[in-house]
Amino acid sequence: MNTLEKLDLKDPRLYRRKACINGKTYGYLYAEPKEGYSRTVFLIHGFPDLSMGWRYQIPFFLGLGHRVICPDCLGYGQSDSPSGSVVPFSLKSQCTDFHGLAVQLGCQNIILGGHDWGSMMASRFALYFPDFVTHLILFVVPLFPPSSTYCSVSDLVKLQPSFGYMLQFGSDDYEIESHTQSEDGIRGFLNALYGGLTTDGRRAISATNGIDFDIVSHLVPSKLLTEEDLQYYVSEYSRTGLRGPCNTYRVLHQNFIDETPFLSNGGDKKVEVNCPTLFVRAMDDFAITSSMVDTMLPYIPHLTIKEVRSSHWIMIQRPQKVNEIVQTWLQEQGINQN
């Protein structure tokens, strides 16, 4: 197995680049082995994360001889954050953009990975562009198959209370944004999301209610982020704020509309991911239940499931274990180190 390595932004193998795709500018991290590569790994982060969320996986994949591309999703980091309509933030819109980026970089196919909302996007990418994804890796969030009926966030929460936080994150009064206007506000929000605790062990976030901002200022620093990591995140989020990232929770109806061809009569799309797929579940994540995992089983015939004792932030909390699981699975798929 590869030795665990944490990526530094000053790593000479790493390039910070930008590309214009469908009228939007995306920032992305780009790295390739000096010896050349035969495959490209494309990694999509979640909320509230950045391309650097893959800081333990980029060196790992480089060590396996793969080129690695990690974009900042729309509204995050160095990517644009369009105002007005939330449609550009839909899963289909961003999948189309990321496909365009991969093609622009010369990819004929990719190994695709995603975490959290990035996992949602990755599974949709595999549905929209099935011939482009040779292997799919989903962290924490399973495939949620397209539905024939729209379920609003409020109705979803009635069915699944562990999604209650979504009401706050995507609220019409922009509650998250109102508390993250300053660097201190952003720092407190991120510290809460990454597991910061009070001295008596309380969290500022719950699955059912979201963030309790009265507690945020009393949290000690999260153990998952170094001060350098946290300052980098604060700096990146200070550029355009949290409106773009929170739009992820405001675009669910557009996602539903985009996916109707999968289910409508005469639709030419099939709700099935046919490529080999690895799902790595974080057993201590507060939102994902076993029934949610079971729901995806009929839709992914070539599925491998692995479980890791970890919180939501599995790639940075248990990076060695995660990388070992991925490397073993890739070897089982016949993808060996160059």
Give me the half-sphere count of Cα atoms (radius 13 Å) on the Cβ side of residue 290: 1
Q: How far apart are CA 253 and CA 88, in angstroms?
A: 13
335/137 Cα distance (integer angstroms): 14
The C-alpha angle 18, 23, 26, rounded to 5 degrees, equals 25
Kindly give the residue spans of alpha helices, DSSP state H, lying in the chain. 57-63, 91-104, 117-128, 153-159, 165-169, 175-178, 183-193, 213-216, 227-240, 243-246, 252-259, 290-295, 314-317, 319-332
Active site residues: 116, 312
User: How many beta carbons lie within 10 A of that of residue 190, not counting itself?
Assistant: 21
Other Cβ atoms less than 10 A from the Cβ of 42: the count is 25
Between CA 166 and CA 170 the distance in angstroms is 6
Length reported for the chain: 338
Give the C-alpha separation, 162 to 285, whole Å.
10
